[in-house]
Amino acid sequence: MKFDVVTLFPELIDIYTRNGIIGRAVENGLFEFEAFNLRDYSEDKHKKVDDYPYGGGPGMLLKPEPMFKLLDAIKKHNSYIIYLSPKGSLFNQNKAKELSQKDHLILIAGHYEGIDQRIIERYVDEEISVGDFVLTSGELPVLTIVDAVGRLLPGVLGSEESAIEESHSDGLLEYPQYTRPESYQGMDVPEILLSGHHKKIEEWRLFKAIEITLKRRPDLIKDKSIIEKYNKLSQIYK
């Protein structure tokens, strides 16, 4: 898989993608990554890539000419082009899984008041938002997509189970986790986790995952059978 990012600040993207788990994945060739500076495709002598919107209004828009030129240069027959926009559909774990099946993602980091609509109509396959809020630029949303999708690719995480047993992977928030020491400042690890009884540990973890989800994100629970399962487990682990 390859990620290509269209940005005005490639140095911000590079810092993140050269470090940590994502950086190691790129270095080890588990996926390809490249950031393209939109200004390099401007024919303006000052490398200008924005202009005022027709019809008036505050702010500036990214111009179509440099964006058309850049996207024509990097897109392929299997490219899937995403524009990170507050108007887009909300990003979640299911979308991350869906995008992890693509061969080539091109991610456009927006700036100012956005981009010329003709760019969207000509090139963009999907507009995605990472939340119901507005940021000063699109680099953080782009990196959110790269991280969430990249970590799902084979070999990126140290353990394949790490991508499975976590919040949102099965529609629930993650259960509480503990490590050594067994007791610290009067706070003890739940006895069930020390029992060595794997089936009961799995049941307890499921119970706690449902419990936390019901308290914090009840909107995530769509299946009534989960509530029934919770009620049954609560008789044992409450």
Which tens digits make up the pLDDT trace of 190-201? 999 999 999 999
Q: What average pLDDT does the segment 210-227 reach? A: 93
Q: What average pLDDT does the segment 196-218 reach? A: 95
The per-residue pLDDT for 108 is 98
What torsion, rounded to 10 degrees, do the Cα atoms 87, 93, 95, 97 define?
Answer: 160
- How much of the chain, in percent, has pLDDT values that exceed 70? 95
Taking the C-alpha atoms of residue 83 and residue 81, their distance in angstroms, rounded to an integer, is 7
The per-residue pLDDT for 159 is 60
Q: What residue has token string 């507005």? A: 134
Q: Quick one: DSSP state of residue 185?
A: T
pLDDT digits (tens, 9 = 90+) for 21-65: 999 999 999 999 999 999 999 998 999 999 999 999 889 999 999
* Pair 82, 105: CB distance under 8 Å: yes
